[in-house]
């Protein structure tokens, strides 16, 4: 049966560990051009603009010997110009996998249900699993493991936060979330994370105090206060999130050897001050690079039955 990556519930702890081993191997190859995806074509169905997601997938597919086709909203407007079901069934006749970046997570779910080829969530309004996998890989790369470590996520309980919650709970990484009241993570996602944490032993704490979240944390993570599609809420959001800026007051509460993370793009002076995101504790560009390596591993993992064993 074909496999999808729609949320991090789709991968077990053992599969994530395997994925990271493959990521490490691919990264050590330093961009070597392979032929694992020779004669394979991957479609990028993007309803939202992108920098890291599009470039990292296009480069990664090329480095694996595959062909990439970019399909923006002018070519495919899911559910409007054509039903999502029809798009999934049609593209399954042409392509070997789909990477989708959509406004609605429901569209990702429909693509996964109707397509007969693997579907990878490149971002939806609810989840961003590729980002979270790259983040957790980056933490292990920098700090050696996740055992006994705490990630403090400070800001909007958005798609990145949701995927980090599920990913942290899967691998046993403790996670503190601090969001303004009314902007907390989705309750169902939080409950799923708490359920997964019972197996991994991770501690998941949700609250509204950035200071409490940051105390003793090994990783401080933030994201923009105003995401794509929320521009009309900008004034209200900046007011609500003012106390959730990552600054020296916050980082002084963390472990002295903390690392700072951000999925980018960043707005210096809003969710984080420049001294921190551009400082010695920041690993944001290592994170960005690791999107490439992790996504190559995801493609190999999901297409393994089609391409045979790889090194």
CATH of the domain at 121: 3.40.50.1370
Residues 175 and 67 in one domain: no
Residue 178: enclosing H or E segment and its boundaries? Answer: strand 174-178
- Write down the H helix ranges in 172-230: 187-200, 210-214
Residue 110 contacts residue 83 (beta carbons within 8 Å): no
199 part of a folded domain: yes
Residues 219 and 117 in one domain: no
The total number of structural domains in the chain stands at 2
Q: What does pTM read for this prediction?
A: 0.95
Residues 99 and 231 in one domain: no
pLDDT at 309 over 80: no
Q: Please, which residues bridge with residue 97 across strands?
A: 42
**Between 80 and 196, the higher pLDDT residue:** 196
3 part of a folded domain: no
pLDDT at 280 over 70: yes
Question: pLDDT tens for residues 191-240?
Answer: 999 999 999 999 999 999 999 999 999 999 999 999 877 888 899 999 99
Q: Is residue 236 classed exposed, middle or buried when 0-12, 13-18 and 19+ CB atoms within 10 A define those classes?
A: exposed
Question: pLDDT tens for residues 150-206?
Answer: 999 999 999 999 999 999 999 999 999 999 999 999 999 999 999 999 999 999 999
Confidence (pLDDT) at 311: 46
SS3 assignment, position 98: strand
Residues 32 and 159 in one domain: no
As given in the structure block, the two tokens for residue 148 are 């006994």
Task: Give residue 114's domain range.
Answer: 8-128+291-307
Residues 158 and 90 in one domain: no
Report strand pairing: 204-207 vs 219-222.
Answer: unpaired
Question: DSSP code of 184?
Answer: P
Residues 157 and 210 in one domain: yes
Confidence (pLDDT) at 81: 82
Closest CA to 69 of 46, 36, 103, 38: 46
Q: Is residue 144 classed exposed, middle or buried when 0-12, 13-18 and 19+ CB atoms within 10 A define those classes?
A: exposed
1 part of a folded domain: no
Residues 146 and 244 in one domain: yes
Mean pLDDT along residues 271-293: 98
Confidence (pLDDT) at 80: 81
Residues 184 and 283 in one domain: yes
Confidence (pLDDT) at 228: 75
What proportion of the chain, given as a percentage, has pLDDT over 70? 97
SS3 assignment, position 118: coil
Mean pLDDT of all residues in the chain? 95
Residue 17: enclosing H or E segment and its boundaries? Answer: helix 13-28
Residues 164 and 248 in one domain: yes
Mean pLDDT along residues 138-153: 98
Residue 130 contacts residue 287 (beta carbons within 8 Å): no
Question: pLDDT tens for residues 44-72?
Answer: 999 988 999 999 999 999 999 999 999 99
197 part of a folded domain: yes
Catalytic residues: 101, 128, 131, 223, 263, 291
52 part of a folded domain: yes
As given in the structure block, the two tokens for residue 249 are 């007051």
Residues 90 and 197 in one domain: no
Residues 115 and 217 in one domain: no
119 part of a folded domain: yes
Residue 159 contacts residue 128 (beta carbons within 8 Å): yes
């Amino acid at each position: 049966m074909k496999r999808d990556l729609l949320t991090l519930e789709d991968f077990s702890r053992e599969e994530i560990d395997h994925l990271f081993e493959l990521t490490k191997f691919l990264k050590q190859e330093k961009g070597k051009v392979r032929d694992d995806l020779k004669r394979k074509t991957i479609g990028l169905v993007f309803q939202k603009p992108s920098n890291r997601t599009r470039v990292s997938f296009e480069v990664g597919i090329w480095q694996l010997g595959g062909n990439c086709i970019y399909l923006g909203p002018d070519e495919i407007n899911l559910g409007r110009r054509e039903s999502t079901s029809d798009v999934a069934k049609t593209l399954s006749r042409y392509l070997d996998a789909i990477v989708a970046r959509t406004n609605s997570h429901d569209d990702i779910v429909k693509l996964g249900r109707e397509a007969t080829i693997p579907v990878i969530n490149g971002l939806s309004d609810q989840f961003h699993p590729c980002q979270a996998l790259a983040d957790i890989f980056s933490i292990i790369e920098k700090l050696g493991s996740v055992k006994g470590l705490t990630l403090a996520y400070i800001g909007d309980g958005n798609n990145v936060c949701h995927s980090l919650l599920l990913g942290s709970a899967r691998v046993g990484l403790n996670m503190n979330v601090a969001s303004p009241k009314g902007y907390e993570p989705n309750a169902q996602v939080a409950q799923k994370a708490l359920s997964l944490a019972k197996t991994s032993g991770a501690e998941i704490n949700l609250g509204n105090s950035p200071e409490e979240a940051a105390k003793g944390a090994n990783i401080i993570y933030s994201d923009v206060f105003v995401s794509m599609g929320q521009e009309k809420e900008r004034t209200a959001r900046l007011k609500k999130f003012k106390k959730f800026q990552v600054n020296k007051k916050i980082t002084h509460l963390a472990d002295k050897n903390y690392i700072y993370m951000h999925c980018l793009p960043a707005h210096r002076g809003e969710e984080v001050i420049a001294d921190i995101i551009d400082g010695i504790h920041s690993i944001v560009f290592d994170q960005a690079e690791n999107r490439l390596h992790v996504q190559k591993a995801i493609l190999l993992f999901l297409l393994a039955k089609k391409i045979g064993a790889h090194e």
